[in-house]
Amino acid sequence: MGQDRPVSNDPTPPLPAIVPDLTDVRRPGPVPVPDVRVVEQARARLAALAQPAGALGRLEDLAAWLAGCQGTVPPRPPQRIHAVVFAGDHGVAEHGVSAYPRAVTPAMVHTLVTGRAGAAVLARQHGVALRVLDISVDDDLTGLPDAVRQQVQAHKLTRSSGAIQLTDAMPVPLAEAALRLGDRIAAQEIAAGADLLIAGELGIGNTTPAAALVALLLGLPAAEVTGRGTGVDDAGLAHKQQVVQQALDRFSREHGDAVHGAGPVDPVLALAALGGPDLAVGVGFLLGAARRGVPVLLDGLISLAQALVVQALASTAVAWFAAGHRSTEPAQSLALDKLGLVPVLDLGMRLGEGTGALAAVPVLRSAALVLGEMALLSDLQL
């Protein structure tokens, strides 16, 4: 299908536009969308493949999306996928919102680094480069070998965020710095050759700020967004719901009446008040991928809450995102709907770390391959 693209006599291909680092996080500049003409070309080729019309189902949507992102038909199966797990602790974890203690956060950083966490296993299986970054973990991680610890802490911003039902998670300038940092980390991964990015997360308690962010941005009450996270029981769920509602009420009291659909919420303020530094770095990372035209597979609740914030910062950025899976968290499904994303997998997963996105990688690769390698109906000897 390449013959349909404009032909130039100039033998020197144009240099890719250099995207400057994010300066004003509230004005990330126009984020271009994937190439619509290429998507149409991909659709035309899909319609011509040796199959009953539409028989590849959602694989066709994925193939067309990837073609548009890469600007070429057929798309290349992504082979240089980079996943970055952003780890951080959350003050709210001290308030009975998780089924597990805070000590799990540093322990799981260790398990990720040693390649035995769920995300590490799946990343290895699919040849994905996985990095873990301590953005705001409380623990000093002194159990790690020095060289490894330096890498993991290379971008550490702070320690645990504030308990969001009582106080803002962090000051606005820290949220801004975190967004810029995430954008820069995405730029680094892309400069290192990444052709698809995944943002993972780790941090006991982080489903509470993520649910609060979804509630705030969608104008929904806590009762509709709050899920069991790591598996709190019924009493735990009722309590967690109260904590999320307290956080929303506090936001509305302290930051004006922007809650419940009264007006567009300032996404940076939302992150500062109800998110956390680790969540904000992930937002910057997703935005940084979109600003540079690199596709992203989204993961579970935290990832979808981050994508909602990205949408509030730059609505066109979402065009670079595909949803890896549907998690069991209600707020994740609500965010998927709001963003118009249909997840690749629906396996009842609720682990986080990036595992839902990683599990979807082979399906995405298959989508690219069938578009490139299948015969056309016109090739059949009828």
Ligand X SMILES: O=C(O)c1cccnc1
User: By the criterion CB under 6 A, which residues form the site for ligand RBZ?
Assistant: 98-100, 104, 108, 201-208, 229-230, 351-353
Cβ-contact 289, 296 below 8 angstroms: yes
Active site residue 353: yes
Q: Which is nearer to ligand X, 293 or 343 (CB)?
A: 343
Q: Which is nearer to ligand X, 311 or 332 (CB)?
A: 332
Beta-carbon contacts of 4 under 8 Å, excluding residues fewer than 6 positions away, are 41
Q: Which is nearer to ligand X, 91 or 330 (CB)?
A: 330
Q: Which of 40, 176, 353, 373 is catalytic?
A: 353
Query: Where do contacts with ligand X occur on this chain (CB under 6 A)?
Result: 207, 229-230, 299-302, 327, 329, 332, 350, 352
Q: Which is nearer to ligand RBZ, 208 or 241 (CB)?
A: 208
Among residues 221, 200, 232, 230, which one has the least CA distance to residue 302? 200
Among residues 91, 122, 119, which one has the least CA distance to residue 204? 91
Nearest-approach distance from CB 90 to ligand RBZ, in angstroms? 8
Query: Binding partner of residue 202 among ligand X, ligand RBZ, none, CB under 5 to 8 Å per kind?
Result: ligand RBZ
Query: Binding partner of residue 277 among ligand X, ligand RBZ, none, CB under 5 to 8 Å per kind?
Result: none
Q: Which is nearer to ligand RBZ, 22 or 122 (CB)?
A: 122
Q: Which is nearer to ligand X, 49 or 336 (CB)?
A: 336
Query: Binding partner of residue 203 among ligand X, ligand RBZ, none, CB under 5 to 8 Å per kind?
Result: ligand RBZ
Minimal CB distance to ligand RBZ: which residue?
229
Which helix (H) or strand (E) segment is 130 a member of? Answer: strand 129-136
Rounded CA-CA distance 305/310 in Å is 9
Rounded CA-CA distance 79/64 in Å is 17
114 exposure class (CB count in 10 Å sphere: 0-12, 13-18, 19+): exposed
Query: Binding partner of residue 104 among ligand RBZ, ligand X, none, CB under 5 to 8 Å per kind?
Result: ligand RBZ
Q: List the end-to-end C-alpha distance of the chain, in Å, as a whole number.
A: 24
Compute and round to an integer the Cα radius of gyration of the chain.
Answer: 21
* Residues facing 138 on adjacent strands: none
Nearest-approach distance from CB 326 to ligand RBZ, in angstroms? 16
Nearest-approach distance from CB 302 to ligand X, in angstroms? 6
What is residue 211's three-state secondary structure? helix
Which helix (H) or strand (E) segment is 49 a member of? Answer: none
Minimal CB distance to ligand X: which residue?
300
Query: Binding partner of residue 63 among ligand RBZ, ligand X, none, CB under 5 to 8 Å per kind?
Result: none
Nearest-approach distance from CB 101 to ligand X, in angstroms? 15
Rounded CA-CA distance 65/67 in Å is 5
Nearest-approach distance from CB 187 to ligand X, in angstroms? 25
Q: How many residues does the chain have?
A: 382
Query: Binding partner of residue 185 among ligand RBZ, ligand X, none, CB under 5 to 8 Å per kind?
Result: none
Cβ-contact 88, 279 below 8 angstroms: yes
Nearest-approach distance from CB 279 to ligand RBZ, in angstroms? 11
Beta-carbon contacts of 147 under 8 Å, excluding residues fewer than 6 positions away, are none
Q: Which residues are known catalytic residues?
A: 353
